[in-house]
Amino acid sequence: MSVEAGTKAPEFELAGVDGPIRSADFAGKPYVIYFYPKDDTTGCTREAQDFSALAGDFGAAGVTVLGVSKDSVASHRKFTAKYGLTIPLGSDPEGAVIERFGSWVEKSMYGRQYMGIDRSTFLVDAKGTIVRVWRKVKTPGHAAEVLKAAQSL
């Protein structure tokens, strides 16, 4: 299944710091789900901080933001506490949800091919339809761009 604008967002269930996070929790409400490679690394920290800084604005627009990586709930708890993050983080250790969204991709570094998480973001409307997709995200300004799109729903 290709996950792109105009398609239904895949269903999911993730472990979260405060218990399970399910796609059903967002039924009838718009949300942003973004996938990132690793807790407490430079780009991922910046992205989580940027989304956290704008959490109030997303909330005012009626949109919840959810970050997802393969890191454990314990890692997410530590990451959240260390940086004062205000957005929920979902743990997908097996990568099933990451794969469902098409964010588990072949990457290349120093000529070496490997599989990894594509830094990607999905804006989902209240009907569960993906409205906008960002792939190969560059962190600077990204959260603000997503907010602008979310405010236009």
**Tokens standing for 116?**
């990894």
**Tokens standing for 64?**
């919840």
Q: With beta carbons less than 8 A apart as the criterion, state whether 90 and 66 touch.
A: yes
**Tokens standing for 83?**
């940086």
In the residue annotation, 68 being an active-site residue is answered as: no
**Tokens standing for 119?**
């830094």
Number of neighbours of residue 82 by Cβ within 10 angstroms: 11
The residue from 14, 21, 33, 44 that is catalytic is: 44
DSSP 126: T
Name the helix (H) or strand (E) containing 80.
Answer: helix 73-83
Q: Which residues are catalytic?
A: 44
